[in-house]
Each structure stands twice: as C-alpha cells, then as structure tokens.
Amino acid sequence: MVTKTLAQRYKKRTRHRGLSGGPDKYAGYVFVAPWFFGFLAFTLFPMMMSLYISFTNYDMLSSPVWVGIQNYKDIFLNDELFRESVRVTLVYVLLHVPLRLLFSLAVAVLLFKTGSRIVAFYRAVFYIPSIIGGSVAIAVMWRQIFGSGGAINAILLKLGLIDRTIGWLGNPDTALGTLVILAVWQFGSPMLIFLAGLKQIPESYYEAAAIDGAGAWRKFIMITLPLLTPVIFFNVLMQIIRGFMCFTEAYVVTNGGPFNKTLFYVLYLFQKSFSYYQMGYGCALAWILLIFIGFFTVIIFRTSNYWVYYESEGK
Amino acid sequence: MTISKKLFSKILFHAFLLVFSFIMFYPVLWLISSSFKSTAEIVANPSSLLPSKVTFSNWINGWKGFGGVTFGTFMLNSLLVSSVSTVLQVAFSALVAYGFARNRFKGKNILFTIMILTLLLPSQILLVPQFIMFSRMGLRNSYLPLLLPTMFGLPFFIFMIMQFIKGIPVELDEAANIDGCNKYTIFGRIIMPLLTPALITSAIFAFYWKWQEFFEPLLYLQKADKFTVSIAVKMFADPNAGTDWGAIYAMSVASIIPVLLIFICFQKYLVEGIATTGLKS
C-alpha cells in the first residue's frame, strides 16, 4: 500500500517537473506574459516609434516629414540651449550625487554606532524627506522657503549672516545651488541602504582589528569602507541615472530660469516636445539622453573592477 | 573619570543628532505651521514655526479648490488612480517574478536581461511616443495613459520580489508538487502567502510613486475635474493663478498627508524593503 502510493507520487513528480509536459510546460511563459506584453506595447514599440520620429519633423498636426539626421545635426551644431542643458545637468549630477552619498554614508555610520532605540526615530526623520521630496508640494515649498521673502532669508538676516535679502532662485549663481540642496536633503534612501550594508559586516572583523590595536578611523578605512563598496557602487549608479532624469523640481521650483541656469536636460526635452510641439527634435533629444546614460553606466561598470570589493573574489 | 567622559561624548553626540534632525525636518514643520498662519503673519514672520494665532481659514479656503472643483475631488482622483495602479502593478509583478524565479523555459535569460536593461531605461525617452500613441487612441484626459504603461508589472518590483522568492526554500515547491500541485496552484497557495512582506513593500512604493507622479498627469489631464493632487497643487501655486499662500500651504500639506500616514503605519516594511533591493543586486 505504502509502496504503491510512493510509486504513484514519484510518477506524478516526474510528470510535473521541468519541461516534460503537463500543465506546467508553458507555465513560465504564462507567468512572464503580462510583463512581456507591457514591454512590447509600452516600451519597445514606443522606442522604435521614437527612433523613427527622431529622423522626422513632426508637430502632431500634419504627418511626419522625413529629414534624415537633420535634428541630430541641429542639436549638436546649432543648439545653444542643448549645450547649456547638458552643462546644467552634469553640474547638478556631479554636485548632488557625491554630496548626497557622503551625507548618507556619514549619517548611516553615526546611527549604526549608537545602536540604541532612539535610532529608529532619527532614521525616520532622515528618511521622510526622501519619500515626500519628489512631490510637487515639496517643490512649491522649496520655492517659497528660498524666495526673497522666504524663511531662509529671514533666518540668515536674524543670524546676521547677510544684511539684505538674497533672491536665491532669481540669481543665476545660486539658483542651481538651491536645487542641489533640495536633492541632498533627500539623502534618506541611500542612507537606509548603507545602514543595511553596515549590518552585514561581521562583528568579528572589528574585534580582530581592535586586538591588533586599530582605532575607530582605521577600522572605518580598512574594514567598513572596502566592504561597503558594492553598496556604494549600487548607490552611485542609481543616483546618477536618477539625477539625469530630474524634472519635477526644476519645472516647479525655477522652471529652467534664471537665464536657463537650471534648464535641466529633461526640462528642455519637455519644452521642445510639448511647448513647441517639435516632436522629432524632442525624440532626438531623448535618444541622445539614452545613449548618454548608457555610456555613463558602462563607464561606471568598467571602473567597478578597480574599486568595488567582492568578498568571494578577495579570498 | 572615563564614565563621565563617555557620558559627555554621548550627550554631545545626541545633541548633534537632535540639532541635525531639527534642521532636516525644519522645512516640513515650517510648511505645516505656515498652513495655520494668517496671510499677514506668513509675510511678516516667514521663518517662525509657531503661529501666533492658529487659523483654519487656509484649510477651508484651500479645500474649495478652483474651477468649481474642490480639493476633495483631486484627492479622490489621486486615490483612485494610485490604488488601481498599485493593485495591478503589484499583482502582475508578483506573477512575473515567480515566472522568472521558479520556472525554466527557453529564452528566459534573454527576457530577464531585457527586463534588467529596462530598469536603467530613462522613462522620458518613452514620453513623446507614448503621448502620440495615447492621443491617437483618444485617451487624453482619461486615466488610462497613467495606468497602462506600468500596470503590467514594474521591473523594479519584479526584481525585488524575485530576490524574496529566492529566499523561500525550493523544497516547499517540491513538496507541493509531490502532493499534486502544479505551478499555478503552487504560486497561489504556497508562494503568494509567503510573499506578503515583499508585496506590501512594493505596494507602498507603487502607491507613493503614483501619488506623486507629475509628468504624466501634466501631459494627459486637461480638465480640472480629472486633475490629480500633484497637478492641482501645481496649478494652485502657479504665480499668476493664486497668491493665497496660506491656502497653498494647507493643500500642500493635505497632499502629503496620505504619504506620511502610510509611512507611519508601514515603516518597517519600507525600511526592510529598501535594504533588500539595495544589497542583493
């Protein structure tokens, strides 16, 4: 009796396993199908369409007119604003990504060391700006806080650091800076990733280092930092890609001004496509952005061999 | 001697963190307190955190909205779009994640690679063609353009849920298989219930992102009665539209209340979710 059921079970088991037929033969495809459909309809097809449109002039009223590489030529040769937007975006990314990561790492290390209950409170306080930071409400608030009659000016006046109000957002030298501060303010999510990474470093490493007489700083440089490099790598990559795509903040806080000093790339793309209805031009800008981001990603991956430490390889 | 020294450094440390927390949180506190200030006080004393006299008129005026549409409608619109989108995104992402994590099929590696690549794809490249597509289909001023592109599963969530599934012992699947379950019933009865934490984390993010989405609603929604909260706040705060700053602050606060509430209720899931995606990639 028992042997029979076992045999039956074994039969069933072989029938259901792998690609050997039965209802499970196509299960993988069925499960993956929704994503694949979405990918074809709303990613691949639009991408191909975008590539085609980028070689045309198209205003959505008349049909597209093929112009070859004219849009790309115009962008690279004659477009002053394109160059400005690339410059602004690069400066923004190169300023806010390192600052944000430095902040998040420093705070994560501080919080990790305390280890008491109150850490949960700090963690929440530091993380909340990250979750609300992308909203229009926060962008509007930022515009007001940094306005001439805003809170920042009032505080600086009270402290005696300035003697008259500064138009932070209207001044070409400071406008981009306010957006960088807004970005650095949202250091919460990389901080959480760093905190989780710190938890994974075995306590025994530090104990061994302590026996060898290493101080806190030396422990940080020799143990914490190398073991965190994979996490740092992930953060750098994600932050840079997101930095290139920044839109809401620039659109709401400064709308590209003053004198295009905060004309982020995606904002420029938006203006060309949806204010001037130069869809072909906009698509060409989008493809250039894609190639740009791809290029950056490859570079970051290439350099990772030199500075990212993977424990399994190291030993 | 050493004990008092230790205590001193501990106090210094917490004092530093407290001051830093205050600076970090100041803008949020400022926004909340400004929503209860009178217009005169907003102008006269912009940096204070305590209104000299608490007034609710900003909230009452703000809630009236504009164009004959109250702020309640905007909130409901956002709630509708975000909830529907969240449920679909998470359900489909879980299905797809299971497909990739626990099934063998031809072409799986290629499909998986494509999915990971789309993680890095800037969504802006799709905006113009999607806009043309949806306009041709006559879907402007409807919520479908906000739902369709993401509802069939988001690579970010698929990846996160996959990592979670990998932590579930395969023996569970095998045991269920021996008991006569096929892949579909294994997913429904065994995996799905175990996935709850990952699903909650995904749901929170899905909701947040939809709730705060700005670019897409800006492109597609034209009539005030269809506006989501983010568009409403932007329209409300347009320099040429309104100067009732108190009301604008009040509605700004209103628009982030749901986000904060969810954070307070589900903090644990968020913190753990972020940790897993960041570490296991």
Condensed to tens digits (0 to 9), the pLDDT of residues A198-209 reads 888 888 998 899
Instruction: Tell me the pLDDT band of A123, cut-offs 50, 70 and 90.
Output: confident
CATH no. for residue B122?
1.10.3720.10
Distance from CA of B152 to the nearest CA of A (A): 5
Distance from CA of B234 to the nearest CA of A (A): 6
pLDDT given at position B275 = 63
Residue of B nearest to A243 (CA): B122
Instruction: Tell me the pLDDT band of A23, cut-offs 50, 70 and 90.
Output: low
Is A149's pLDDT higher than 70? yes
Condensed to tens digits (0 to 9), the pLDDT of residues B173-185 reads 889 988 888 889 9
Q: Which of B279, B10, B215, B193 is nearest to A196 (CA)?
A: B279
Residues of B in contact with A110 (CB under 8 A): 13, 17
Distance from CA of B5 to the nearest CA of A (A): 16
Enumerate the domain spans of chain A: 2-53, 74-314
Contact across the interface for A248 and B25, Cβ inside 8 Å:
no
pLDDT given at position B212 = 93
Q: Which of B234, B219, B222, B226 is nearest to B127 (CA)?
A: B219
CA A74/CA A288 separation, integer angstroms: 13
* Averaged pLDDT for residues A260-275: 94
pLDDT given at position A22 = 60
Instruction: Tell me the pLDDT band of B239, cut-offs 50, 70 and 90.
Output: low
pLDDT given at position B132 = 93
Residues of A in contact with B17 (CB under 8 A): 110, 122
The answer to whether residue B252 neighbours chain A at the CB level (below 8 Å) is yes
Condensed to tens digits (0 to 9), the pLDDT of residues B66-98 reads 888 999 999 999 999 999 999 999 999 999 999
Is B281's pLDDT higher than 50? no
Instruction: Tell me the pLDDT band of A16, cut-offs 50, 70 and 90.
Output: very low
Contact across the interface for B274 and A135, Cβ inside 8 Å:
no
The pTM of the whole model exceeds 0.95 = no
Q: Is the ipTM of this complex over 0.90?
A: no
Q: Is residue B5 part of a domain?
A: no
Mutation site, B98, B128, B173, interface A, largest A CB count within 10 A:
B128
Residues of A in contact with B208 (CB under 8 A): 131
Condensed to tens digits (0 to 9), the pLDDT of residues A233-242 reads 988 988 898 8
Residues of B in contact with A122 (CB under 8 A): 17, 21
Q: Is residue B164 part of a domain?
A: yes
The answer to whether residue B234 neighbours chain A at the CB level (below 8 Å) is yes
Mean pLDDT of chain B: 89
Q: Is residue B2 part of a domain?
A: no
CATH code linked to domain A74-314: 1.10.3720.10
Residues of B in contact with A186 (CB under 8 A): none
Q: Which of A48, A67, A84 is nearest to B128 (CA)?
A: A48
Is A315's pLDDT higher than 50? no
How many domains does chain B contain in total?
A: 1
Given a contact cutoff of 8 angstroms between Cβ atoms, the answer to whether B217 and B146 are in contact is yes
A–B CB contacts, 8 A cutoff, strictly below: 270
Is A18's pLDDT higher than 50? no
Is A105's pLDDT higher than 70? yes
Residues of B in contact with A287 (CB under 8 A): 125
Is A112's pLDDT higher than 70? yes
* Averaged pLDDT for residues A75-97: 95
**Of the candidates B45, B129, B182, which has its C-beta nearest A53's C-beta?**
B129
Distance from CA of A152 to the nearest CA of B (A): 7
Q: How far apart are the first and last CA of chain B?
A: 47
Contact across the interface for B212 and A134, Cβ inside 8 Å:
yes
Q: Is residue B52 part of a domain?
A: no
Q: Is residue B23 part of a domain?
A: no
Contact across the interface for A43 and B118, Cβ inside 8 Å:
yes
pLDDT given at position A14 = 47
The answer to whether residue B28 neighbours chain A at the CB level (below 8 Å) is yes
Beta-carbon contacts of residue B195 (< 8 Å; ≥ 6 apart) = B94, B161, B164, B165
Residue of A nearest to B219 (CA): A274
* Averaged pLDDT for residues A214-228: 89
Residues of A in contact with B211 (CB under 8 A): 135
Percentage of chain A exceeding pLDDT 90: 46
pLDDT given at position B114 = 94
* Averaged pLDDT for residues B214-236: 92
Residues of A in contact with B25 (CB under 8 A): 125, 128
Is B200's pLDDT higher than 50? yes
Contact across the interface for A282 and B128, Cβ inside 8 Å:
yes
pLDDT given at position B242 = 59
Distance from CA of A14 to the nearest CA of B (A): 9
DSSP track, chain A: -HHHHHHHHHHHHHHHSTTSSSTTTTHHHHHHHHHHHHHIIIIIHHHHHHHHHTTEE--SSS--EE-TTHHHHHHHHH-HHHHHHHHHHHHHHHHHHHHHHHHHHHHHHHHHHH-STTHHHHHHHHHHHHHHTTSHHHHHHHHHHTSTTSHHHHHHHHHTS-SS---TTTSTTTHHHHHHHHHHHT-HHHHHHHHHHHHTS-HHHHHHHHHTT--HHHHIIIIIHHHHHHHHHHHHHHHHHHHHT--HHIIIIITT-STTTT--HHHHHHIIIIIS--HHHHHHHHHHHHHHHHHHHHHHHHHHHHH---HHHH-
Q: Is residue B44 part of a domain?
A: no
* Averaged pLDDT for residues A266-289: 94
Is A102's pLDDT higher than 90? yes
Most confident of A7-16, A106-115, B201-210: B201-210
Q: Which of residues 30-89 of A touch B (CB under 8 A)?
A: 30-32, 34-39, 41-43, 45-47, 49-50, 53, 60
Q: Is residue B268 part of a domain?
A: yes
Is A43's pLDDT higher than 60? yes
The answer to whether residue B206 neighbours chain A at the CB level (below 8 Å) is no
* Count of other CB atoms within 10 angstroms of residue B114: 16
Q: Which domain holds residue B162?
A: 79-279
Q: Which of A1-5, A132-136, A222-226, A294-298 has the lowest mean pLDDT?
A: A1-5
Contact across the interface for B31 and A245, Cβ inside 8 Å:
no
pLDDT given at position A115 = 63
The answer to whether residue A110 neighbours chain B at the CB level (below 8 Å) is yes
pLDDT given at position A163 = 84
Is B276's pLDDT higher than 80? no
Percentage of chain B exceeding pLDDT 90: 54
pLDDT given at position B1 = 52
pLDDT given at position A312 = 56
Q: How many Å separate Cα A139 from the centre of its chain?
A: 18
Q: Is residue B181 part of a domain?
A: yes
Beta-carbon contacts of residue B62 (< 8 Å; ≥ 6 apart) = B71, B236, B244, B246, B247, B248, B250, B251, B254
Residue of A nearest to B29 (CA): A141
